[in-house]
Amino acid sequence: MSVTRTLRETDRRLTRQAASRIPPGFGKVLSAVEESAESSKLWCGAALLMAACGGWRGRKAATAGLTALAVAQFAANGLCKQLADRPRPPKEWIPHDEAEDRPDSSSFPSGHTAAAVAFTAAVAPSLPLAGALCAVPAALVAVERVQSGAHYPTDVVTGAAVGLGSAWAARNAPRLARRLWLT
């Protein structure tokens, strides 16, 4: 069996399991967290709180988080989704009504996950406690994207990788730019 075929079968199996095995009450919690993260509201609110209450470290973390989030959104939604025209998981795999409320855009990668991971990973080095607190809704967003039928697990994993890369770029771009400027 080829790697692509194995990934496709694993995606199918995990998507169906996530959509059918998560209890309805927890599904509502996941939906509420995802809704708060929609359009980056949750992450902007967290950045505002960090900047207002965290002193210079809070402002540094907020700036890094929002920069990483913007880079991740551009990479995931502006580039990757345009290049990979992957359809969303079939609605018949999702035994609840959330499959009716999902975007028409490409499934690959998960922009929600990319943004959540980017913000969290960029904030954590400056404010470890804030990073740990942000990791909880970030993980819930990733689970929700599969549970709701909006994404395959590989979309979410790739979104997380885009987020980590974006956080690295946001945190290291100033240092790299100085190096290039001085040489």
What pLDDT score was predicted for residue 98?
Answer: 64
Would the pTM of this model clear 0.85, i.e. be above it? yes
3-state secondary structure the chain: CCHHHHHHHHHHHHHHHHHHHCCHHHHHHHHHHHHHHHHHHHHHHHHHHHHHHCHHHHHHHHHHHHHHHHHHHHHHHHHHHHHCCCCCCCHHHCCCHHHHCCCCCCCCCCHHHHHHHHHHHHHCCCCHHHHHHHHHHHHHHHHHHHHCCCCCHHHHHHHHHHHHHHHHHHHHHHHHHHHHHHC
Of 7-16, 114-123, 148-157, 170-179, the range with the highest mean pLDDT is 114-123
What's the confidence (pLDDT) of residue 165? 97
Under 8 Å between Cβ of 65 and 79? no
With contact defined as beta carbons under 8 Å apart, do 113 and 159 qualify?
yes
Q: What is the pLDDT of residue 149?
A: 86
pLDDT for 99 equals 60
Spatial distance between the Cα atoms of 18 and 149, rounded to a whole number of angstroms: 9
Whole-angstrom distance, CA of residue 133 vs CA of residue 12: 31
How confident is the model over 157-170, as pLDDT tens digits? 999 999 999 999 99
Closest of 151, 77, 58 to residue 115, by C-alpha: 77
Which band of pLDDT confidence, cut at 50, 70 and 90, is reported for residue 70?
very high
- Name which residue leads in pLDDT, 104 or 96: 104
Q: Average pLDDT, whole number, for the chain? A: 89
